[in-house]
Chain A
Amino acid sequence: MTMNSENNNKDPRHLRRILAIWLPLAAVGDLLFWFLVGPHVPPGDLTSTASSNQFDFNILFVIALPVMIGVWVFLGYSIRTWSAKRVGVAEPKGGSAARSNLRAQVWWITLTTVIVLFLAGFGTVELVIGNGSGGGEGPNPAWAPTGATAAELASATWSPTDNHVLPVQVIGQQWQFTYRYPTFGGFESSQLILPAGTDIEFNVTSLDVIHSFWAYQLSVKADANPGVNNIAYTKTTKTGNFTVRCSELCGIWHGAMYNYGKVVSKSAFESWATSTEAANAANTANLAPYAFTYTPDANGAAGGYYEDGTVTPYSTVEVYGAKQPAS
């Protein structure tokens, strides 16, 4: 019989002890988190993507928590059990078993590999079934909700009684986001109002530098690049308020580039959209034709001198909206 075998026979079954401590702690911790904390984890449940992201965070946490508790339990147990200052414990302790334990290593590597691979698969599935999970998918989205093809949206209307996707254009500019509603005459507004229970297609672009549209409680985040139509999807599930922030450092007023939006009932949205369309009609007539991207004048709009009554752009293709690239 070897020395290790003798030691093992004399030592208590540490693994069982550790498991006996870890298992109830992990189980209770997970249950407490899932039922008490989980429903309140950001970004909430204002949209399908927010709910999905909240679910993802909760899944990640209930997987990570037992691992974390396991590490802490093992550390605490080790300090208490194998401390060199502990009376009656020989020093050094452990012998060859302390240098390596093949069985423990195999278990550890196997378990962590399974967890990581599971999370990779889980994340991919969530990304696919969530139509991009609220992230910008570029001008040609790989995943989109039913009824959100370019052809369908080009001719789509929206009313509280249909289930059409509502396209909303997000325009970043130094230093404010504005929003256009192509299904309501293409009016532009500094307010972002959305109907509840509706699939939303955000078409995100910029008139100058790179911004990033981050509607936090909607769990939508998409870069706003000049000359690019970055598409992101979500589905609003209930009414509520949300915050929009620019999350790409874009200049001196970047920190002030935020506003608040609302998800309202479908009828309230229709009322707001139609009244705003009418109120803004005079200005909408002056806006550039709705396009997925716009090409601003790189030198800025100001500085030129114009004769009275004869203002003309620097170039017919350099002013916001004058050029409509193929999307």
Chain B
Amino acid sequence: MSKGGRLASSIGLILVAFGLVVVAVATLLTPGTPGGVVDFTKAQPAGQPVNLTVQTVGAIGYGPHPTWVSYLVKSPSTGKWIHDTTWQLPAHTLIHVTVMQYDSGSPLRNQEWGQVQGTQGGTATLNGKSFSVYNSYTGNGVGHTFAVPAIGLSVPLVGVSGSATNICGEAPCTPKFAHNKITFSFTTPGTGEYNWQCFVPCGLGWLYGNGGPMSTQNFMGGFLDVVQS
């Protein structure tokens, strides 16, 4: 190869390498929407409150981890329950959340999470009754929490009686099983990815209860993918 050819080849390779680096960096820096999100942005006209309905179950009952505790979300388009914890929501929009809690409870490791935080009015409702603090050492304890740390949102999800004869054993659960209905509202922040999680270490059998379903996407944590409506 001539000297000019070698020079051209070298410059070409350098440009290709540079281009790959640019693409890789741009890809890493560009916030992307995770695959498999449940889209709530088209559920209501822009600016209107969005209804988000989820359920928690003590055991999902199917898939590779049938005994794992999990969240499910109701599809805004089909009304079917979906095993997915990444939800796309419009920014700066009021979200009305309904949680159908089918799991039993226990005392919280940190009672701080017994306080309703970051909701509209600082309250939630439990079976229609407003509350702002729940003592997890009383009643049936707290089964799970729904928390978005980055926006200061945290709501205790009071557990059902473990001695109930109609405990739901396989998702999706229906209201004929023992459940608590918790509702609250919050306003989404600006666009971005906000992780949410349960603060009850409900991964029973793992170190400090935070492995397994607590450390696996689509079970006890996920993302609010907040986008422009």
Contacts and interface: CB of A to CB of B under 8 A. Distances in A.
A309 B138 contact: yes
A313 B107 contact: yes
Interface stretch (B39-47, B109-117, B179-187): B109-117
Interface in B142-190: 143-144, 147, 149-150, 152, 154, 159, 161-163
B202 A173 contact: no
A297 interface: yes
Interface stretch (B1-9, B87-95, B208-216): B208-216
A190 B117 contact: yes
Contact of A308 (B117, B139, B201, B209): B139
Contact of B208 (A171, A300, A304, A305): A300
Contact of A311 (B110, B141, B154): B141
B215 A251 contact: yes
Interface in A251-289: 251-253, 256-257, 259, 280, 282-283, 286-288
B201 A174 contact: yes
Contacts of B147: 176
Given A176-B149, A299-B205, A311-B140, A320 B104 contact: no
Given A190-B149, A286-B137, A320-B109, A176 B199 contact: yes
Given A253-B221, A309-B139, A301 B111 contact: no
A302 to B, nearest CB: 4
Q: Which of B104, B152, B204, B208 has the most CB of A within 10 A?
A: B208
A166 interface: no
B210 A208 contact: yes
B205 A320 contact: no
A178 B201 contact: no
Nearest to B118: A190
Given A174-B201, A174-B210, A304-B106, A283 B114 contact: yes
Interface stretch (B13-21, B23-31, B71-79, B128-136): B128-136
Interface in A102-144: none
A306 B109 contact: no
Interface residues of A, number: 43
B149 A178 contact: no
A287 B112 contact: yes
A307 interface: yes
Interface residues of B, number: 52
Contacts of A215: none
A253 B195 contact: yes
A1 B20 CA distance: 63
B107 A173 contact: no
A175 interface: yes
Contacts of A282: 115, 132-133
B104 A305 contact: yes
Contact of B111 (A286, A300, A302, A311): A286
Tell me if A's interface is mostly helix, strand, loop or mixed. loop
Contact of B209 (A171, A283, A299): A299
A221 to B, nearest CB: 20
Contacts of A65: none
B105 A306 contact: yes
Contacts of A313: 107, 137
Contacts of B137: 286, 311, 313
A307 to B, nearest CB: 5
A209 B200 CA distance: 15
A303 interface: yes
Given A175-B197, A302-B201, A209 B112 contact: no
Given A296-B208, A305-B162, 10 more contacts: A174-B210, A174-B214, A259-B149, A288-B111, A300-B210, A304-B104, A306-B104, A309-B139, A311-B105, A320-B111
27 contacts: A173-B199, A174-B210, A176-B149, A208-B109, A209-B208, A209-B210, A251-B210, A252-B216, A257-B149, A282-B115, A286-B135, A287-B111, A296-B109, A299-B209, A300-B200, A300-B201, A300-B204, A302-B202, A303-B106, A303-B202, A305-B162, A305-B163, A306-B105, A306-B159, A307-B161, A308-B140, A311-B107
